[in-house]
Structure 1
Amino acid sequence: MRLKNLKYILALLGLISTFNIAQSQEMLGLTMGNYKGITGVMINPASMTTNKVYLDINLATANVFLRNNFAYLPKEDFVIWDLLDKNYQFPTYGEEEKNVLYYNNSKAKQITQNTRILGPSAMIQIGDHAFGITTGVRVFTSGNNIPWNVAEFGYWGLDYGPLHNIDFDEKNIDFGSNSWMEVGLSYAYDVWKYYDQQLTVGLSVKKLWGYAGAYVYSDKLNYLVPNDTTIDIKEMNASLGFSGPINYDNSEFLNTSPTFRGSGVGMDIGVVYVKRRQVELNKWNGERLCAQNIVDYDYKIGVSIVDIGRVKFKENAQEHQFDEVSIYWEDVDTLQFNNANSFLHELSNTFYGNPNASYVGDNIKIGLPTALSIQADFNLRNNIYVAGFFIHPLRLNKSTLRRTPQLAIIPRYETKYFELSVPISLYDYNYPRVGIAARFYFITIGTERLGTYLGLSDMNGMDIYASIKIGINKGSCKERFGGACDNNNFGNNILRRKR
């Protein structure tokens, strides 16, 4: 792919990330089953040796996830399938003909967007070892603890009387966005086997190339709006940084700038414990990869930390700091800004009396959406499984992107050629969801927001993922060589436990 074409692809993904009001963030239908192959490393790199495939080639996998808890379209007025109707007219609300409604409550507002494309990637297992290589492009946006009053002023404008003359004191507001390309190498090793038990460790190391990024953080914002032309900022501490393919003096796209303005390193680490259903007596003899033994298990439990690392932007980057500033700012309704530099110069001059005083550096660092994850999978009988999934963000600094916490139970039916799972999850520990994912041999499609597509829930986000992969199963020698390996127990004399 030429760099020119890559620029436009990354620009398009960056544009997608701006549509915050447009949910699987973790693609549970692709990362929890026994045929997950290389896609499993996105959650736990140690999972590579516990698959039913020894070779897995990902041709293309894509995930689009958006969610916010402020603005929405009522389910009575909009279903996502309406987008297929060329004559459909979006609804408007109120005298001002707003395009969306909002949840009228005093909860802190959040925005999460995750677009992930897993490009050509592959894994292979050779005995106790497994190796993987991944390529991909990611765009991740998170806004957290956004004050409800700030969101409502954004919706109505400063002339919204019900919020006038109220002293608002807000803390720990953050917003961040990052788009990057990554190439990773993964390794997993069965470090311990004892009768019917197995322990595997795994590691992924990824080289990151940053395309664009930005963050805003404020640990203190005390303000009051007396009328529609004035903001009384009594105290504010804030920092912000950004880097992108934009001329900050005229807002034009920089066609001649470097494709990537930042770089970094990312890492995932994990461990998986397997309680086998059988005691392995004869190990794989190392002659045919297709004759490797399938791990039939009662249950397996994994623990991992994913997306450790950051991207440092050094090209076309700015960082600004506002420490304990205050201002009674009149006539704000007359201000007009055509570019980023004019806006920041005005802010700096207003707070410090100097248009350049807020500028503190020409590079920024944005942390990946680091998270702790725990996975469990229980083999019931007759191809029926029940998995459990937990993920919680680990924020290492103010510019670390925040992955939204999630709890899920995923019952599934699984065979070589067909798989159906129904994730039942609790998003951000507050919002219940039901999804569905289906695999037809090498094609998978799924969502964790089924209600969005059935018209059962308001439109405050969306989620869909799909994958095309080629996998070669363990015990598949019969198919290719005419041997006896199609029997799962071929080459593996076993001692079955009594039940």
Structure 2
Amino acid sequence: MKKTTLLLFFISLSCFVDAQSFIGYLSDNYSGVHGLISNPANIADSRLKLDINLAGASGFAANDYYGINIFDSFKDTYSFNTDPKKTPTNDNNGLGNIDVLGPSVMFSLSEKSSIAVFTRGRFFFNANELNGNSIESLDDEDVADFNINEGNFDFLANAWAEVGITYARVIWDDRQNFLKGGASIKYLKGMGSIYGVGNNVTINYDEDGTDLGGGQTTGSISSTGFINYGRFDEFDNDNYEYEVPDNASGFAFDVGFVYEWRPDYYDYRSGGAFKNERALNKYKLKLGLSITDIGSINYKDGIKEGYNITNTGVSEDEFDNADDIGDFLNNFYTQTDAGVGYDVDLPTALHFNADYNFNGKFYLNLNTDFSVMKKSRKTANRVANNVSLTPRYESKWFGFYLPLTVVEGSGFRIGAGLRAGPLYLGSGSIISAFASDNNRQADVYAGLKIPFFHKDSKDKDGDGILDKYDDCPSKPGPVENNGCPWGDKDKDDVLDNEDKCPDEKGPAENNGCPWTDTDGDGIPDKDDVCVNTPGDAENNGCPKKVIEKVQKDLNEYAKVILFDYGTPVINQESYEVLNDIVKILKEYPNARFMIEGHTDSTSSSGWNQRLSENRANSVLKFLVDNGVNPSRLTAKGYGETKPIAPNDTKEGRALNRRVEINLIKSN
């Protein structure tokens, strides 16, 4: 009978707790259409251009009351009644779900937008503030009589199908910062629901409390409190043939945003422009925020009733012989409320997701799911608040993840999952379930799909420019030349991109341009002392008579450069001569000169060498200080090594103490 079904269902509710569907898999960048489950923005800029889900399901079971050792449970001697560890409290809570993603498809409309159409079947059940000690009393076979002090409690089960459409697009893209958003709208078809709310409920059962006469007895039930009880209109049918409610429907929507930080955006530059390579994950850090399942289902023909269940000595036979729970409640208790139609809220939840990309293959994902439905809302489904940290490896055809999750009311669990081509399967708790001798949770998901990935772009020549944008895909070349190597049109060994005169040969030191030769004597101006007068190479581009005159004038002036005795200090009487030398040097701005210092042999050779060097440098300094380019001058001391007269006479020694300024001839 339905009342028995309801009782078993009511008790079983405390054994389930739910968290997110498809744990681990939804963090995968190749999850395709599944990405819209947690955040509709995920399908924009997807790694898949088309994704067809054939069928997939995710189911969860966990509790804070009943725990088993999975390995021991396979033994023949294991008793599921006495061997499990039970943790009854006055406030055992539970909820759970089954999530079936039916035939669904996601496809890219363009580089910036995608769309998805999906079908989904879902079943949620919640139970709050159940007294685990009451369950313990019911489960004790050695005790015939029992007392249940349930107090306040509520439970809800709801099944529905949904058909939805999702649209997502890129909102902002400045290459380093990338933002996309998406929304889903869903039509909901209620498939059935039941709920109950109890206030100050107590139930006492006496196995022999009712005297049937003739020495026969049966149990009696005494109770206090209030119950509100609702169910879809087909629930009370006695033929057990399930029928979909006619007037149960609604709408819901999801909305979400995803931000990506792309500090290495320059790596995706090709052909001088930035390209959105959709086959690649370009982010270093991805952040997602979404809210899902905003909506409700209206069971227009649903039945809702309220009862004061305060009564004593109700016969157990009356309970057993009642047609259904409603018939029993109406016959023995006072109805306080009656009506038709009620709403069931969907499990509205807020999701935050952070994904860190280590190297394009290895990632670390942080995800939180937070229920925004108040517990005071008795006809509302809820997800369990949870936080999960998931390291994962992913590539186009294979992914593996290891979710570590903390679930409200269920504790810590470790799972594993994988994606291999069209197959995806996993569990959010399989590792912890087998590692624990008091496992109170289990979940699993699996499915098949047909993925169509965006093609990987090739870079055959390894120049950082993808082949489809590379004008020379077989030869490496820079972005500025569209992937082609630079040429050398004038064959001067200076590449055209650095050659200021690409049509004329020229040396690299002149940026590929030929040197200027103003007087046309074949000697570049940079080496030509007489820029405007043709000359010979051996005379630094000057006519021979010009060179002879310059050298003669310099020699005459140099003879009268005087120094203080025994020092490199120039005598002020020589300043006028030196200024005349400056004028001569400036007349030939391209000429280079050697300043030579010489001494007699009256002192030691070391002293003479140092003195000659210092005097030559003193002259060089004077010339530079008065505007001669220092790059044109060289100073050198020869000491006593180059006399021009004998050192054994006073006159000879005077001639040997000299400074010479000589034109440096080019080779």
- Using structure 2 for the length normalisation, give the TM-score: 0.59
C-alpha separation in 2, matches of 1:295 and 1:489: 19
Partner of 2:229: 240
Q: Is it true that 1:437 corresponds to 2:417 in the alignment?
A: yes
**Counterparts of 1:16 and 1:60 in 2: how far apart (Å)?**
27
**Aligned mates of 1:90, 1:487 — CA distance in 2:** 67
Q: 1:170 aligns with which of 138, 151, 166?
A: 151
Residue 332 to residue 409, structure 1, CA distance change in 2 (3 Å): farther
Alpha-carbon offset, residue 409 of structure 1? 0.2
Q: What's the secondary structure of 1:362's corresponding residue?
A: strand
Q: Deviations over 1:401-445 (max 9, x none)?
A: 121111100000111121110000111165110000011122111
Partner AA of 2:128 in structure 1 = N
Structure 1 counterpart SS, 2:133: helix
Q: In structure 2, what is the equivalent of residue 32 of structure 1?
A: 27
Distance 1:160 1:487 in 2: 81
- State the AA in 1 paired with 2:102: G
SS in 2 for 1:335: helix
2:371 to 370, 393, 396: 393
Are 1:279 and 2:265 counterparts?
yes
Partner of 2:623: none
| Residue in structure 1 matching 2:359, options 376, 381, 389 | 381
User: How far apart in 2 are the matches of 1:146 and 1:241?
Assistant: 18
Name the CA shift for 1:382/1:118 in 2 (closer, same or farther; >3 Å).
closer
Inter-partner Cα distance in structure 2 for 1:244 and 1:444 = 38
TM-superposed CA distance for 1:488, in Å, is: 7.8
- Preserved CA contact (<8 Å) 2:404 2:415: yes
CA positional deviation for 1:123: 1.1
Equivalent positions of 1:89-488 (< 5 A) are 89=76, 91-92=78-79, 98=81, 101=84, 103-106=86-89, 108-125=91-108, 126-156=110-140, 159=143, 164=147, 168=149, 170-171=151-152, 173-218=153-198, 220-223=199-202, 225=204, 229=209, 233-236=223-226, 238-243=227-232, 245-248=234-237, 251-254=238-241, 257-258=243-244, 260-279=246-265, 292=278, 294-315=280-301, 317-322=302-307, 325=308, 327-337=310-320, 342-352=324-334, 357-358=335-336, 360-381=338-359, 383-395=361-373, 397-428=377-408, 430-451=410-431, 454=434, 456-458=436-438, 460-476=440-456
- Label 1:441 to 1:277 Cα distance change in 2 as closer, same or farther (>3 A): farther
Q: Per-residue deviation at 1:32?
A: 0.7
3-state secondary structure, aligned to 2:194: strand
CA contact (8 A) 1:64 1:464 kept: yes
Report SS of the residue matched to 1:463. Answer: strand
The offset of 1:232, in angstroms, is 5.4
Preserved CA contact (<8 Å) 1:446 1:464: yes
Report SS of the residue matched to 1:399.
coil
* Structure 2: gaps (5+ residues): 1-7, 210-219, 471-477, 481-667
Aligned mates of 1:42, 1:190 — CA distance in 2: 19
Q: Distance in 1 between matches of 2:337 and 2:309?
A: 17
**Could you tell me how far 1:158 is from its partner in structure 2?**
11
**2:91 partner amino acid:** A
Q: Secondary structure at the match of 1:314?
A: strand
Which SS does the other structure have where 1:404 is aligned? Answer: coil
Change (3 A) 1:321 1:468: same
Q: Report the Cα distance in structure 1 between the residues aligned to 2:163 and 2:366, rounded to whole angstroms.
A: 29
Q: Does 1:43 align with 2:45?
A: no
Could you say what secondary structure the match of 1:388 adopts? strand
Name the % identity: 23
Distance 1:241 1:435, change over 3 A: same
Map of 1:10 onto structure 2: none
SS of the residue 2:240 aligns to: coil
Does the CA-based 8 Å contact 1:135-1:183 persist in structure 2?
yes
Deviation at 1:54, TM superposition (A): 2.4
Cα distance in 2 for partners of 1:442, 1:304 equals 27
**Hey, what's the Cα distance between the residues in 1 that align with 2:72 and 2:36?**
40
Q: Is the 8 A contact 2:63 2:409 kept in 1?
A: no
Q: 2:44, 2:270 → 1: CA distance? A: 13
Residues in 1 aligned to 2:409 and 2:65: alpha-carbon distance in whole angstroms? 17
- Alpha-carbon separation, structure 2, partners of 1:217 and 1:489: 66
Cα shift at 1:76: 5.0
Q: RCO higher in 1 or 2 (8 Å CA, sep ≥ 6)?
A: 1
1:178-231 CA distances to partner (integer Å, 9 max, x unpaired)? 11111100011222223411122111111111111111123x325364855566
Structure-2 separation of matches of 1:441 and 1:410: 21
Q: Please state how far the C-alpha of 1:111 moved relative to its aligned partner.
A: 3.0
Q: 1:37 to 1:258 in 2, by over 3 A?
A: closer
**What TM-score results when the alignment is normalised by the length of structure 1?**
0.78
Distance 1:279 1:213 in 2: 51
Q: How many residues align?
A: 444
Structure 1 pair 447–132 and aligned structure 2 pair: CA distance change class (3 A) = same
CA contact (8 A) 1:280 1:494 kept: no
Report the CA distance shift for 1:170/1:50 in structure 2 as closer, same or farther (over 3 A). Answer: farther
Quick check: 1:43–1:304 contact (8 Å CA) kept in 2?
Answer: yes
Q: 1:69 aligns with which of 64, 69, 73?
A: 64
Between the aligned partners of 2:183 and 2:366, the Cα distance in structure 1 is 22
**8 A contact 1:200–1:273 mirrored in 2:** yes
**Is the alpha carbon distance of 1:227 and 1:62 closer, same or farther for their aligned partners in structure 2, counting shifts above 3 Å?**
same
- 1:433-459 CA-to-partner distances (Å, cap 9, x unmatched) read 000001112211101121376464445
Distance 1:216 1:235, change over 3 A: closer
2:54 to 42, 50, 59: 59
> Quick one: which amino acid aligns to residue 89 of structure 2?
S
Q: Which has the larger radius of gyration?
A: 2
SS of equivalent residue, structure 1 residue 378: strand
More strand by share: 1
Query: CA–CA distance in 2 between the matches of 1:34 and 1:235?
Result: 52
